[in-house]
Structure 1
Amino acid sequence: MMQWRNLLSAQRLGHRGAEPVTPARNPFQKDWDRVVFCSAFRRLQDKTQVHSLPESDYVRNRLTHSLEVSSVGRSLGAQVGEVVVAREGAALGEAWGGISAAEFGHIVAAACLGHDIGNPPFGHFGEATVQHWFRDGEGARYLEDLGAAEAGDLCNFEGNAQGFRVLTRLQNWRDAGGLRLTCATLATFMKYPFGSSAADPARRKFGYFQAEAGQFREIVGAVGLAELRPGVYARHPLTHLVEAADDICYSVVDIEDGYKLGRITFEEAEARLKALLPMLPPRYSEIADQPWRIAYLRAKAIGALIDQAVMVFLEREQDILAGRFRGDLLQHTAAAPHLAEIAAFSRSRIFETRERFQTEVMGGEILITLLSAFAAAHFALEQQGSEAGLAPRHRALLRLMPLRPDAAAPRYHWLLSVTDFVSGMTDSYALKQFQRLRGLQ
């Protein structure tokens, strides 16, 4: 059984001891600040959420989505924390000092803020393109000499694992790597607490690359995640709230965005948002403007789903702490059938458009070209042993990398550096690099 006094560890990754938890500015608030000010987070402003390069600047991107998820996550965490602190306040105070309901909210908010930080350009299509390039494309030839776990990391390239790598290694690399977030926040961030070799073959989701296995073990030890079977751990309980915040936001705001883009009617959007409410608020009839009506219903629907998710969490807390809870919180709410209908409706009416498919074709060409070019240059360096004698194009490509490549670097590590570079690009920057490689700019 996992214990809250361990799960709320304020110890920072790579540090000994923990910062004091004070009301003015606690370590988990600092985690939120560190993510906000890092360059990988800023780049989310130009990364596809659902609609690539949308015709309306109202529609969400990865940055605005992450901020909204963080806001919802803070509410979820604080409501859960209020109950837990009322019950275990003395024990938590003895372990970490001034733990209050707000600290639960800060942990969840910080983890939510980074939940998409590892996603490549062009959304989940970009992630699938990287996977296919390694499995069945040109990248497959580079995996022949790798171990099974290392090859699995690349064949099943995962935005969640890349996000963990960004937070724990790639940002602020001069300071021994990573943002040095608290173990509580990093464990809450990790939706899949296992490596690629332990992933479900059907889903292939996992939480860390082999290169970050040491950081993962350190976090597990600090917060006391329960080991369910060798190499597979139970989620941090607050991770369920991160997932709920993400699900709430994209389910509800997809309807609002679809209406704003003109892909669904006011009546279609209104009916689906109303279905998420236990009752229609009396003030709704006072709003005449249709866009404001949808915005009002969106806000009320989010509030209703927050309350339902918190109720399920508290009802199933013991199962969650024991690692027995299955599924996600929203699946166990009264709103579950309505959310399932919204998901199916959104896929058919909002997402599957000709414009989206055209953008995906373009994004696939861009990513394949970039991966092939930079991997070929690194492979040539590996074979040559130095830059001397390399083709001029390969030398130029290597000098575009953020860090000077090392000819002695193991193949697994230079392949990761290539995926780091390409997946870290924004949609626009990836397009620009593609055009320059093709001599079009």
Structure 2
Amino acid sequence: MQGSTGPGRRLSTWASDPRSSRGRRHPEPAAPTRNAFQRDRDRIVHSTAFRRLVYKTQVFLNHEGDLFRTRLTHTLEVAQLGRSIARALGLHEDLVEAIALAHDLGHTPFGHAGQDALHACMAPHGGFEHNLQSLRVVDVLEQRYPDFDGLNLSFETREGILKHCPLRVARWIERHEPGGIGRRFIERSQPGLEAQLANLADEIAYNAHDVDDGVRSGLITLDQVCELPLLGVHREAALREHPSLQQARPRRLLYEILRRMLSAQVYDVIDATGAALKAQAPADADAARAMAPLVQFSPAMRAASTDLKRLLFKALYRHPAVMETTLTAQRIVTELFEVYVERPQEMPADFAGSPLRERAVADYIAGMTDRYAIREHERLTGRRLFRQPA
């Protein structure tokens, strides 16, 4: 064992240790009371991009209901799940939390609809992907320090943020940052275990809360999702123990099913990952990077999670009501892009003066909240495509 995640807790030998961090792109003195990963987490929480997440779409537009998830509430749920699993596995909780809090900073307004529209607009200029944009936010776009752009996060946090990366982009990163976070995509190695965990916690969180929001919206039913064994088995168990939930308390039944499903998935990850780590016994964090992914579901839970994702894609994400919203959102993003490229003076000076006009426009739009994009579109076009909240 080595290092410590907090009072009374020790790191596993394969966990990331802030004392052995590969450091920051711009060297800084160590903080007197915080380890490197705590410092990363704090910088992320205080960033402008993090605050904007509260007004960015998860599935339902921010103004469609006060109780639907936003990017911010999703992010907090990922962080909570990640920390719980990290503690059980002896991984570094602060690092998992930092990655989780930053993983969606580059998301556009209107969720995946906005991303798809912006990617289409940027296709002749390198494309757009929210994962790469999240890295761009923490490396370049946040302007908070006098000596460097971005938040100057540690290697391990940045590595976790960059979940996916095309080979051409990885090679570009490698040229500008030799041996940095692009190298693993060239070598086909893995990120640290904390990054692997944050990625799986993301999946666990959005599957559960999209079921919750989907049923709350009325676009899918509890009976639909409980046709899947992953949820059906928990409904049966809940009703056996609490028969009154059947009629009198339907929302409590849903909450109980989701609570049990989340617990089952968390314990499954702990057991499956623990078994993989015991079998492979990586000597340290770098040894784990050279192995196949070790943070994992069991095969049965992986299949069950995949089935749930398929159902949500077909029944919720492709529901006619959601698709109508999607098309309108894409129209707003596309028309904003066209206006700003033609009239960059409509943007703030920092964006308007960039020699890379299309990329600057993409950066500006990606940073918008849902409601700001709606208002800007109306200001620039004179048309209101979404009803604004009172």
Relative to the length of structure 2, the TM-score reads: 0.80
| Structure 2 counterparts to residues 334-373 of structure 1, below 5 A | 334-373=300-339
Structure 2 counterpart of 1:169: 140
- What is the CA–CA distance in structure 1 between the aligned matches of 2:24 and 2:235, rounded to whole Å? 42
Q: Kindly tell me: are residues 165 and 213 of structure 1, through their superposed partners in 2, closer, same or farther at Cα, counting changes over 3 Å?
A: farther
Contact 1:69 1:112 in 2 (8 A): yes
Post-superposition offset of 1:236: 2.3
- What is the CA–CA distance in structure 1 between the aligned matches of 2:196 and 2:42, rounded to whole Å? 22
Alignment match of 1:128 (pick from 116, 127, 152):
116
Structure 2 counterpart of 1:386: none
Amino acid across the alignment from 1:363 = A
Post-superposition offset of 1:425: 0.7
Contact 2:184 2:191 in 1 (8 A): no
Amino acid across the alignment from 1:159 = H
Q: Which moved more, 1:113-122 or 1:310-319?
A: 310-319
| Structure 2 counterparts to residues 235-254 of structure 1, below 5 A | 235-254=191-210
Question: Tell me, what secondary structure is at the counterpart of 1:44?
Answer: helix
| Structure 2 counterparts to residues 262-277 of structure 1, below 5 A | 262-270=218-226, 272=228, 274-275=231-232
Amino acid across the alignment from 1:342 = L
- What is the CA–CA distance in structure 2 between the aligned matches of 1:134 and 1:109, rounded to whole Å? 31
Q: Deviations over 1:175-217 (max 9, x none)?
A: 311122232222222212x45516xxxxxxxxx795x667754
Alignment match of 1:403 (pick from 338, 342, 350):
350
Q: Kindly tell me: are residues 133 and 54 of structure 1, through their superposed partners in 2, closer, same or farther at Cα, counting changes over 3 Å?
A: same
Question: Tell me, what secondary structure is at the counterpart of 1:116?
Answer: coil
Post-superposition offset of 1:56: 3.1
Alignment match of 2:82 (pick from 73, 76, 89):
73
Question: Tell me, what secondary structure is at the counterpart of 1:315?
Answer: helix
> Identity, % of aligned pairs?
25
Contact 2:365 2:373 in 1 (8 A): yes
- What is the CA–CA distance in structure 2 between the aligned matches of 1:311 and 1:289, rounded to whole Å? 33
Structure 2 counterpart of 1:14: 26
Q: Deviations over 1:33-86 (max 9, x none)?
A: 2222211111112211112246432211111111111111111222221xxxxx
- What is the CA–CA distance in structure 2 between the aligned matches of 1:277 and 1:9, rounded to whole Å? 42
Amino acid across the alignment from 1:165 = R
Q: Deviations over 1:268-297 (max 9, x none)?
A: 445545447599367545755221121122
| Structure 2 counterparts to residues 26-37 of structure 1, below 5 A | 26-37=35-46
Alignment match of 2:366 (pick from 423, 430, 439):
423
Amino acid across the alignment from 1:167 = V
Post-superposition offset of 1:351: 2.2
Post-superposition offset of 1:254: 1.6
Post-superposition offset of 1:417: 1.6
Contact 1:226 1:322 in 2 (8 A): no
Question: Tell me, what secondary structure is at the counterpart of 1:348?
Answer: helix
Q: Kindly tell me: are residues 4 and 266 of structure 1, through their superposed partners in 2, closer, same or farther at Cα, counting changes over 3 Å?
A: closer
- What is the CA–CA distance in structure 2 between the aligned matches of 1:342 and 1:417, rounded to whole Å? 37
RMSD (Å), alpha carbons:
3.3
Q: Kindly tell me: are residues 329 and 402 of structure 1, through their superposed partners in 2, closer, same or farther at Cα, counting changes over 3 Å?
A: farther
- What is the CA–CA distance in structure 1 between the aligned matches of 2:223 and 2:270, rounded to whole Å? 30
Post-superposition offset of 1:430: 0.9
For structure 2, which runs of at least 5 residues remain unmatched after alignment? 1-12, 385-390
- What is the CA–CA distance in structure 1 between the aligned matches of 2:171 and 2:98, rounded to whole Å? 22
Structure 2 counterpart of 1:308: 268
- What is the CA–CA distance in structure 2 between the aligned matches of 1:285 and 1:15, rounded to whole Å? 60
Amino acid across the alignment from 1:116 = D
Q: Kindly tell me: are residues 357 and 69 of structure 1, through their superposed partners in 2, closer, same or farther at Cα, counting changes over 3 Å?
A: same
Amino acid across the alignment from 1:336 = R
Relative to the length of structure 1, the TM-score reads: 0.71
| Structure 2 counterparts to residues 189-204 of structure 1, below 5 A | 189-192=161-164, 194-195=165-166, 197=168
Contact 2:55 2:369 in 1 (8 A): yes
Question: Tell me, what secondary structure is at the counterpart of 1:48?
Answer: coil
Structure 1 counterpart of 2:99: 111
Q: Kindly tell me: are residues 278 and 434 of structure 1, through their superposed partners in 2, closer, same or farther at Cα, counting changes over 3 Å?
A: closer
Question: Tell me, what secondary structure is at the counterpart of 2:237?
Answer: coil
Structure 2 counterpart of 1:323: 290
Structure 2 counterpart of 1:255: 211
Structure 2 counterpart of 1:383: none
Post-superposition offset of 1:371: 1.1
Alignment match of 2:151 (pick from 166, 175, 179):
179
Contact 1:69 1:245 in 2 (8 A): yes
Alignment match of 1:433 (pick from 370, 376, 379):
376
Question: Tell me, what secondary structure is at the counterpart of 2:57?
Answer: coil
Structure 1 counterpart of 2:190: 234
Contact 2:226 2:235 in 1 (8 A): no
Question: Tell me, what secondary structure is at the counterpart of 1:403?
Answer: helix
Q: Deviations over 1:118-177 (max 9, x none)?
A: 011121121121222233xxxx4xxxxxxxxxx4xx23x110010001012111255311
Post-superposition offset of 1:303: 1.9
Q: Which moved more, 1:162-171 or 1:291-300?
A: 291-300
Alignment match of 1:159 (pick from 102, 125, 130):
130
Contact 2:105 2:137 in 1 (8 A): yes
Q: Deviations over 1:358-414 (max 9, x none)?
A: 222211221111111222235xxxxxxxxxxxxxxxxx42xx3251644xx543xx3
Q: Kindly tell me: are residues 279 and 27 of structure 1, through their superposed partners in 2, closer, same or farther at Cα, counting changes over 3 Å?
A: farther
- What is the CA–CA distance in structure 1 between the aligned matches of 2:111 and 2:41, rounded to whole Å? 23
Question: Tell me, what secondary structure is at the counterpart of 2:343?
Answer: helix
Post-superposition offset of 1:9: 1.4
Contact 1:108 1:242 in 2 (8 A): yes
